[in-house]
Structures are given as C-alpha cells and as structure tokens.
Amino acid sequence: MTALPVVVAPGQPLVFREWHPGVALASGPLGIPYPVGSDPVVPTAALVPMIGWDEAGYRLGYGGGFFDRTLASLAKKPVVIGVSYELAKMKTIRPQSWDIPMDWVVTERGTYRRDPEGLVFLGEPIAGEPSALASPSATQLRLTPSVSASGRTSCRP
C-alpha cells in the first residue's frame, strides 16, 4: 500500500492517507498534492526527503519539523529511509533532542545503513541493465522546459 503525507495544521504531526491511481488529489501547502477522502494509515516505512544529512544518519529537512514531530508521535516507529544527494553529506548537523536519525540513507552513490556506531556504506548499486521497474535516471532523460499559463516553469520528458 502507498500513502502520502498530509499537512493537517502548522505544528501538528502529519497524517498519512492511502493513495493509488484514481484517488483524487488536492493541492496542499507549498503546492504539494495530497489524497482527498481516502482512509488514514499508519506507515510501516517512510521515505523522507533530506536537504542535508550527517555521518550518524541525522537529517536536515525543510524547516517545518513535520517529519520529526510525526515520527515521534507514532506508537510504533516505521523504518525511516532518508533520500538525498551524496553532495549533501556533512560531518554533523549538530542534532537537537527532537531530531530522529534515519535507519537507511539512499543517494545516487548507493545505500547506507545506520548501525550503533553510525552510518555504514553498503556499496554502490550493481552494474548492469536496470530492472523494468526502475525509474530512469535524470541523466537518461531529455527534458523539455515549458511555462504554464500561470507562469510556472516545469520540465517534461
């Protein structure tokens, strides 16, 4: 099952709602779409965006505290997978008491697992042809920029 986060209110934990093709989406804060009318779910795993991360697996987010607050509020902590770029890695973010470390970190370089002594690099992806289920990498796409009637710029394959 796939679920997407929903911002309920500033300073409140996120709610996750089931999503699949066909579920209506509405535009939330910052233009981020969220499912409308589907059932709330409790995640067993969460993909979390990171604009920075450190050797211990702590992340820098976008400043709202939504993911840390949400993860702290759940009765059973899901497996937390941070997604970022290798270039965003730093020695420490100087984590605060409310910061929650990622269990895994995935970058374009490969995968890290959080062990008691910190993140351990597990290696690069296996070379060869990607699975039919794999998304194409940005380097394989030819993107065409476009501007909508509202002036918003986007890129499409």
For 26-67, write each residue's pLDDT tens digit: 998 878 899 998 999 999 999 999 999 999 999 999 888 899
pTM of this prediction?
0.77
For strand 79-83 and strand 45-49, is the pairing parallel, antiparallel, or unpaired? parallel
77-134 pLDDT, tens per residue? 999 999 999 999 999 999 999 899 999 999 999 999 999 988 999 988 777 776 665 6
| Calpha distance 100→102 (Å, rounded) | 7
Of 19-23, 25-29, 127-131, 148-152, the poorest mean pLDDT is in: 148-152
Domains (ranges, CATH) in the chain? 2-126 (3.40.50.10420)
